[in-house]
Structure 1
Amino acid sequence: VVIVSGDGVYKMDYNKVLEYHIERKADITVVCKEMPEGTDMSRFGVLKSDENGRVTDMEEKPMMTDSHLISCGIYIIRRRQLIELIERCALEDRYDFVRDILVRYKNVKKIYAYKTNEYWNSISSVESYYQTNMDFLKPEVRKYFLADHPEIYSKVQDLPPAKFNAGSHVRNSLVASGCIINGTVEDSVLFKKVFVGNNCVIKNSVILNDVYLGDNTYIENCIVESRDTIRANSRFVGEDSVKIVMEKNERYIM
């Protein structure tokens, strides 16, 4: 059984993890990644492993740790063993897979760490969601996901291509189908059906689906919620962190 969390952005061949799992004769295999210095480790499950890859210690979201090896939330376990562990946990009124199975049985079961060096990021927080979107402005990240084998395909809604009207300026940005651009967009990600009014400026921001930005609006370091209508002459800037913009104003369409 392959168990995966729904808040990771990555590309992985699970067959390779399964081969590693069988080769090590593991009870449970955890996909892991070494994080760079300065990462907030309190957001992740943190592991330590020996030279053979066997997990020797595991802690969920520690306040302090000297390890930078995190769990990616991807696990392989035999179906029969998973059922047995779940049934045992249910009898003891335990319901957390990580704390009640992985951490609790770390010294009982043979748990191994499969280390990946490929791109992986969590979108479990506002900051990480924003950073992951910004990562896709890097050519090497787009190439890895969209061009390198195996490619990732998504369902395309039948929308007209993005329209860039006279006077618009776009630099280092991703602009989806159905968008209409009249202003300036820099280092930003625009989801489907975003309307950018005259003299608008968008910098370092993520604009979600079906957002209307009135004329002379300034957006910087923000995430604008889906289906928002931003009135003309508005200004939103994330000063110390990413700002969430939610403006449900009336929208008039002629």
Structure 2
Amino acid sequence: MKALGLILAGGNNHRMQELSSKRAIAAMPIGGSYRCIDFALSNMSNSHIQTVAVLTQYNARSLNEHLSSSKWWDFGRKQGGLYTFTPTVTADNSWWYRGTADAMYQNIDFLKKRHEPYVIITGGDCVYKLDYNKVLDYHIEKKADITVVCKDMPEGADISRFGVIRMNEESRITEFEEKPMVSSSNTISTGIYIIRRRQLIEMLERSGQEDRWDFVTDILIRYKNMKRIYGYKMEDYWSNIATVDSYYNTNMDFLKPEVRDYFFRETPHIYSKVDDYPPAKYNAGSDVKNSLISSGCIINSKIENSVLFKNVFVGKNCVIKNSIILNDVYIGDNTHIENCIVESRGTLKANTYYCGDDGVKVVLERNDRYSL
């Protein structure tokens, strides 16, 4: 494909609470067996994009480990490759990434050395499938300077954490508001953009000279009346996981047959790094309904409407409802968990009770499991 990919995966926010205190949002587990960044990487691979760069920064260790080999997404070094870029101290620069535009600006040499005419920019915190070839064809057909992939959100959805756009009858963007408190439009930007590589370099260099570091406010909004910026509407499933509630709801969506079939069974597929765990084991006393149970799990109790990630042990006489249990959690006997997200590598002692009465509760327990 005549485009290269840039995945912006270095951001952090406090809306994820304790879940993002030790990992990047792009590294959050999704759907039992995936990391969130797997969806962007798989879309790149399925669209035959050979060269992809992931820009990481905050709590990047687990994310970098996940990206240590490009073979899982079939990015071959002879054709291009998967690159991971973190902020680098040089004689001229010692800054961390100060924004999305600065992250690209600090790696502008990579853009200058490439030969692909177009760049696809996306975030690492969204769950979706998209053929970037269709968006690129639309971009070329419209003779656009920048194309923004957008989506109509349902009535009542919280759009205050997204960029809200308005388009004319030709799908050209006329207004772009970044994270408005109130808006009459329900069309949001999904954070996916297509732009010509040389034009991106020019815009980044000008923004850098003016100490402007955010791609949305300092490039998209600033140039919206000067450049031909078009919107491409996305109709299929899309979700951003950058809050506790949205992360919980996105995982719960995988319990719906239509969503599960869309991501697990329908082509193109989603790929991820494979861990060598045995299949889940269901012992006497287990009773599992409408749940996702990942490899390496050992189940001895009742589980309903829940997602259990890899290598989870559930003791006897437990009840787990409407909950998400992350990787490598030990749950002692007679434990009740409801409306919760249990952080990875936690140890829940026997005879304990956890319930999110006023919303989703994040559970962090760092007990010594060998003393149980």
Sort the TM-score into its range (normalised by shorter chain): over 0.9
Q: Determine the C-alpha separation between the residues in 1 that align with 2:285 and 2:123.
A: 44
SS at match of 1:4: strand
Q: Determine the C-alpha separation between the residues in 2 that align with 1:102 and 1:222.
A: 38
Q: Is residue 177 of structure 1 aligned with residue 315 of structure 2?
A: no
Matches within 5 A, 1:139-218: 139-218=257-336
Structure having the larger proportion of residues in helix: 2
C-alpha deviations, 1:67-116, integer Å up to 9, x for none?
00000110000001101111111111110001111111111111000001
Matches within 5 A, 1:82-121: 82-121=200-239
The offset of 1:153, in angstroms, is 2.7
Q: Is residue 222 of structure 1 aligned with residue 340 of structure 2?
A: yes
Match in the other structure for 1:43: 161
Match in the other structure for 1:244: 362
Q: Determine the C-alpha separation between the residues in 1 that align with 2:266 and 2:167.
A: 31
Match in the other structure for 2:197: 79
Q: Is residue 9 of structure 1 aligned with residue 132 of structure 2?
A: no
Aligned length: 254
SS at match of 1:99: helix
**Which of 63, 82, 85 pairs up with 2:181?**
63
C-alpha deviations, 1:142-198, integer Å up to 9, x for none?
111121121223233111110111011100000000000111110000000000011
SS at match of 2:154: coil
Q: Is residue 126 of structure 1 aligned with residue 262 of structure 2?
A: no
Q: Determine the C-alpha separation between the residues in 1 that align with 2:191 and 2:327.
A: 28
Under a length normalisation based on structure 1, what TM-score does the superposition of the two structures give? Answer: 0.98
SS at match of 2:369: coil
Q: Determine the C-alpha separation between the residues in 2 that align with 1:7 and 1:152.
A: 15
SS at match of 1:85: helix
Unaligned runs of 5+ in 2: 1-118
The offset of 1:253, in angstroms, is 8.2
Percentage of identical aligned residues: 68
C-alpha deviations, 1:6-44, integer Å up to 9, x for none?
111001100000000000000000000000001011011
Unaligned runs of 5+ in 1: none
Q: Determine the C-alpha separation between the residues in 2 that align with 1:149 and 1:251.
A: 41
Q: Which moved more, 1:141-150 or 1:108-117?
A: 141-150
Query: What is the one-letter code of the residue matched to 2:138?
Result: Y
RMSD: 1.1
* Runs of 4+ more than 4 Å apart: none
Under a length normalisation based on structure 2, what TM-score does the superposition of the two structures give? Answer: 0.67
Q: Determine the C-alpha separation between the residues in 1 that align with 2:356 and 2:163.
A: 29
